[in-house]
Structure 1
Amino acid sequence: MASTTVEVKVRRGESVEKAIRRLKKKLDKEGVMKSMRAHRHFEKPSDKRRRKAARARSRAMRTARS
């Protein structure tokens, strides 16, 4: 897994809360948070395959409806 550095500089006159919101958006866009949650606990290969198959099934159902 490649290391990802996400940086947000606080603009002049910008509140810290707004800068944190921008940081969270950037982390979400790059998939860092999703990756961290996925690697939080070990997942058995069989569970990984089952989850992947379930996603494929739901994606196929969604495209079949459209």
Structure 2
Amino acid sequence: MPQVIPGEDERIDSVLRRFKREVSKAEIFPDMRKHRFFETPIEKRKRKALAKHKQRKRGGSRG
């Protein structure tokens, strides 16, 4: 679970921004969405195509 400790004179909006970044890095929301609702076959296809596209754009597996 992400945890952010505010600095001495740090504003609340910057602390909140850091917390949101930590949550994003931990991939909590995508995982939560994945387990929260039933995924239709169309949504599953879209998700897999997007993942494939991201992997190909990133360099994918070479070999």
Asked if residue 15 in structure 1 is aligned to residue 11 in structure 2, the reply is yes
> In the alignment, what sits opposite 2:25?
29
In the superposition, the TM-score normalised over structure 2's length comes to: 0.63
Amino acid at match of 2:22: K
d(CA) in 2 for partners of 1:8 and 1:16?
11
| Identical positions, percent | 30
Count of paired positions: 54
Gaps of 5+ in 1: none
Q: Cα RMSD between the aligned structures?
A: 2.1
Gaps of 5+ in 2: none
The Cα shift of 1:39 comes to 2.7
Moved over 4 A (4+): none
Structure number with higher relative contact order (C-alpha < 8 Å, ≥ 6 residues apart):
2
SS in 1 for 2:8: coil
The Cα shift of 1:18 comes to 0.6
The Cα shift of 1:36 comes to 2.0
d(CA) in 1 for partners of 2:16 and 2:36?
23
d(CA) in 2 for partners of 1:7 and 1:22?
9
